[in-house]
């Protein structure tokens, strides 16, 4: 209970404030939980680890939850994870049940977030205890597995794998660090750029560029679509909400939350996959599947409990293996790095107070999200009317601060933000996948150390297959994920051919 000393009024204010700001970010179409975390990251520089995490976790939970507001009221998903919320939430709003739909979504989000939090609390330490025994060989294979899973779940497996390896390649730019056992020599640095690229590209400017600037460039490309007017917001006046709507939906809620949590645990798989899987399962098991898509509350429950189930799940691989579960948790790695903490199997055991404070922050964030949105949903609904021409310039300015202050004032980091903002915009057009790229970029340097040191120690390539039974199991999983991806893509093609 020593962690209770960390729970100060400031800590609580940061969780609640972060959740509030996160809901606003999530509620504005085009802005995401990832962007909220990226923009607010510089605020954590002076806050210390626990307080900084309190703010970021609040933003994360709020950002994922806020996406349901425009999904229900406008039929536009506020975040990618709310796509399936539009299927039943918007039809409900169109028939005057906007407020009821929102409250169903809020309650389901709370259930999903809380169930995934329990999974995080009990599962992450067990996985970490198991992973402590891993040698460099198993650690390298875990990274390889993370990349293949992400690639397998990408739109195009080949492009997914390419994106992951490209991320690793770019992360290798700079010095082979002596502190990690390297020889201190430069590589992949073009002549004349040694001064700037000696340490390679910093992680946070890359992330802020990819998730902040690139998103705004996307909007600028589309002409910064005009914001919504109050008349567009169909909150509905006659709709009444009662918790009795959840009668008979316990299985749906628990199953969808479980799916969301499981998807979160898979590295690099976003909230959209969580809600789509949860929704399609709810439809499959429903006695009235034909009502899905016409304003069926069960569909809304599945979607929202599924995407909030992701929040706890995505923290499992981050805190037990050091592998981010999604793009937002990738940014949390940046927050840990800022405070000089390395996440991995030893994190929970060595930092029990921080671990408990994180769990507590997530719990408070879920409660705060539920309370704020349930009570003040009519006001949050108006967030979608905030004009983007006001928000985007301020976000761009905050991106600059985040990039500039990360290394205590290096202008090259600001240019990095621009380079990767442009790259993020072009990458999507080229069919590259940003999530595998980011995970590759984050894990690239570790993958190198594990790979080279394994070879230095054993001097034989077969060690990656023969080191232990865990290595053998990991190879089965790696090959299995690739085979499953090829099978799924062939099946998808067959279905498309049949339907056309």
Partner 1 sequence: MDSLTQVTIDFDRSHLIFPTLIGSILVLLSLAIIAKRRHKLAEAGAYWGQITGHMDKPRFFGTLALTVLYFSLMVPVGDIWPNTGLGFLICSIPYVFATGVLFMHERTLKQMLVMLVISVFAPALVWWLFTEIFFLTLP
DSSP line for 359-427: HHHHHHHHHHHHHHHHHHHHHHGGGGGS-HHHHHHHHHHHHHHHHHHTTTS-HHHHHHHHHHHHHHHHH
Q: What string marks each residue from 138 to 167 as x (binds partner 1 by CB under 8 A) or -?
A: --------------------xx-xx--xx-
**Considering beta carbons, is residue 405 or 468 the nearer one to partner 1?**
405
| Backbone CA torsion sign across 289, 263, 157, 215 | positive
Q: Would you tell me how many other CB atoms lie within 10 Å of the CB of residue 411?
A: 10
Task: Based on the shown chain and the rule CB under 8 A, indicate whether residue 401 belongs to the binding site for partner 1.
Answer: yes
Question: Which range binds partner 1 by CB under 8 A, 299-307, 335-343, 393-401, 487-495?
Answer: 393-401
**Considering beta carbons, is residue 120 or 417 the nearer one to partner 1?**
417
Nearest to 67, CA basis, from 92, 52, 89:
89
The Cα–Cα gap between 261 and 269 comes to 11
Question: Which range binds partner 1 by CB under 8 A, 38-46, 230-238, 282-290, 303-311?
Answer: 38-46
Q: Are 252 and 234 in contact (CB under 8 A)?
A: no
Which position among 94, 239, 339, 405 is part of the footprint of partner 1 (CB under 8 A)? 405
**Considering beta carbons, is residue 365 or 398 the nearer one to partner 1?**
398
Question: Which range binds partner 1 by CB under 8 A, 16-24, 30-38, 41-49, 361-369?
Answer: 41-49
**Within its chain, how far is the Cα of 14 from the centroid?**
20
Q: Are 218 and 35 in contact (CB under 8 A)?
A: no
How many residues sit in the footprint of partner 1 (CB under 8 A)? 63
Structure token pair of residue 483: 């085979």
**Considering beta carbons, is residue 143 or 302 the nearer one to partner 1?**
143
Which position among 408, 496, 497, 499 is part of the footprint of partner 1 (CB under 8 A)? 408
Q: What string marks each residue from 218 to 237 as x (binds partner 1 by CB under 8 A) or -?
A: --xxxxx-x-----------
Task: Based on the shown chain and the rule CB under 8 A, indicate whether residue 183 belongs to the binding site for partner 1.
Answer: yes
Task: Based on the shown chain and the rule CB under 8 A, indicate whether residue 245 belongs to the binding site for partner 1.
Answer: no
DSSP code for 322: S
Ramachandran angles phi, psi of 443, nearest 5°:
-90, -10
Q: Are 305 and 111 in contact (CB under 8 A)?
A: yes
Question: Which range binds partner 1 by CB under 8 A, 63-71, 78-86, 295-303, 411-419?
Answer: 411-419
Task: Based on the shown chain and the rule CB under 8 A, indicate whether residue 1 belongs to the binding site for partner 1.
Answer: no
Task: Based on the shown chain and the rule CB under 8 A, indicate whether residue 35 belongs to the binding site for partner 1.
Answer: no
Task: Based on the shown chain and the rule CB under 8 A, indicate whether residue 168 belongs to the binding site for partner 1.
Answer: yes
Task: Based on the shown chain and the rule CB under 8 A, indicate whether residue 428 belongs to the binding site for partner 1.
Answer: no
Nearest to 303, CA basis, from 295, 492, 32, 328:
295
**Within its chain, how far is the Cα of 345 from the centroid?**
20
Task: Collect all residues with Cβ–Cβ distance below 8 Å to 211 and sequence separation of at least 6.
Answer: 32, 34, 35, 38, 327, 331, 424
Exposed / middle / buried, residue 320 (Cβ in 10 Å: 0-12, 13-18, 19+): buried
Question: Which range binds partner 1 by CB under 8 A, 106-114, 121-129, 175-183, 372-380?
Answer: 175-183
Which position among 23, 216, 259, 439 is part of the footprint of partner 1 (CB under 8 A)? 216
Question: Which range binds partner 1 by CB under 8 A, 29-37, 318-326, 375-383, 450-458?
Answer: 450-458
For 319, 338, 354, 356, 415, the CA distances from 351, given in Å and listed in that order, are: 11, 16, 5, 9, 35
Task: Based on the shown chain and the rule CB under 8 A, indicate whether residue 404 belongs to the binding site for partner 1.
Answer: yes
Task: Collect all residues with Cβ–Cβ distance below 8 Å to 477 and sequence separation of at least 6.
Answer: 145
For the segment 185-204, give every residue that binds partner 1 (CB under 8 A). 185-188
The Cα–Cα gap between 119 and 301 comes to 19
Q: What string marks each residue from 460 to 499 as x (binds partner 1 by CB under 8 A) or -?
A: xxx-------------------------------------
Task: Based on the shown chain and the rule CB under 8 A, indicate whether residue 127 belongs to the binding site for partner 1.
Answer: no
Task: Based on the shown chain and the rule CB under 8 A, indicate whether residue 172 belongs to the binding site for partner 1.
Answer: yes
Structure token pair of residue 384: 């979608």
**Within its chain, how far is the Cα of 339 from the centroid?**
20
**Within its chain, how far is the Cα of 291 from the centroid?**
31
Which position among 4, 129, 169, 487 is part of the footprint of partner 1 (CB under 8 A)? 169
Q: Name the residues that contact partner 1, by CB under 8 A.
A: 42-43, 45-46, 158-159, 161-162, 165-166, 168-169, 172, 175-176, 182-183, 185-188, 213, 216-217, 220-224, 226, 387-390, 392-394, 396-398, 400-401, 404-405, 408-409, 411, 414-415, 418, 422, 429, 444, 447-448, 451-452, 455-456, 459-462
């Amino acid at each position: 209970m020593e962690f209770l000393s960390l729970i100060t009024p400031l800590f609580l204010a940061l969780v609640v404030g972060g959740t509030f700001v996160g809901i606003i970010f999530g509620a504005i179409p085009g802005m995401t939980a990832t962007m909220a975390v990226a923009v607010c990251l510089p605020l954590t520089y002076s806050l210390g680890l626990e307080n900084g995490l309190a703010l970021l976790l609040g933003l994360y939970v709020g950002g994922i939850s806020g996406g349901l507001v425009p999904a229900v009221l406008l039929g536009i998903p506020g975040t990618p994870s709310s796509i399936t919320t539009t299927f039943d939430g918007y039809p409900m709003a169109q028939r005057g049940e906007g407020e009821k739909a929102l409250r169903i979504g809020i309650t389901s989000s709370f259930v999903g977030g809380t169930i995934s939090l329990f999974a995080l609390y009990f599962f992450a330490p067990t996985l970490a205890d198991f992973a402590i025994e891993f040698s460099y060989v198993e650690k390298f294979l875990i990274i390889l597995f993370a990349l293949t899973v992400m690639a397998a779940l990408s739109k195009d497996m080949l492009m997914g794998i390419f994106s992951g390896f490209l991320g690793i390649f770019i992360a290798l730019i700079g010095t082979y660090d002596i502190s990690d056992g390297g020889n201190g020599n430069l590589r992949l640095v073009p002549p004349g750029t040694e001064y700037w690229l000696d340490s390679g590209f910093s992680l946070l400017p890359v992330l802020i560029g990819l998730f902040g600037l690139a998103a705004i460039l996307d909007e600028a490309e589309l002409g910064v679509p005009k914001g919504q007017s109050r008349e567009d917001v169909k909150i509905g006046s006659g709709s009444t909400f009662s918790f009795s709507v959840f009668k008979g939906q316990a299985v749906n809620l628990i199953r969808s939350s479980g799916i969301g949590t499981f998807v979160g645990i898979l590295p690099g798989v976003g909230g959209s996959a969580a809600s789509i899987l949860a929704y399609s399962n709810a439809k499959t098991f429903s006695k009235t599947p034909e009502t899905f898509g016409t304003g069926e509350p069960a569909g809304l429950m599945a979607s929202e409990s599924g995407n909030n189930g992701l929040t706890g799940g995505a923290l499992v691989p981050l805190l037990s293996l050091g592998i981010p579960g999604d793009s937002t948790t990738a940014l949390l790695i940046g927050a840990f790095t800022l405070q000089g903490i390395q996440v991995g199997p030893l994190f929970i055991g060595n930092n029990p107070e921080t671990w408990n404070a994180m769990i507590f922050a997530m719990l408070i964030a879920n409660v705060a999200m539920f309370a704020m949105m349930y009570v003040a949903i009519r006001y949050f609904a108006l967030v979608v009317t905030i004009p983007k021409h006001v928000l985007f310039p301020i976000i761009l300015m905050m991106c600059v601060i985040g990039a500039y202050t990360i290394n205590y004032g290096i202008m090259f980091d600001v240019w990095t933000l621009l380079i990767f903002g442009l790259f993020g915009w072009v990458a999507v057009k080229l069919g590259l996948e940003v999530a595998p790229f980011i995970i590759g970029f984050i894990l690239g340097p570790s993958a190198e150390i594990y790979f080279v040191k394994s070879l230095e120690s054993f001097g034989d390539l077969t060690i990656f297959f023969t080191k232990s039974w865990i290595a053998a199991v990991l190879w089965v999983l790696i090959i299995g994920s690739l085979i499953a991806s090829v099978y799924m893509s062939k099946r998808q093609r067959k279905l498309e051919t049949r339907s056309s």
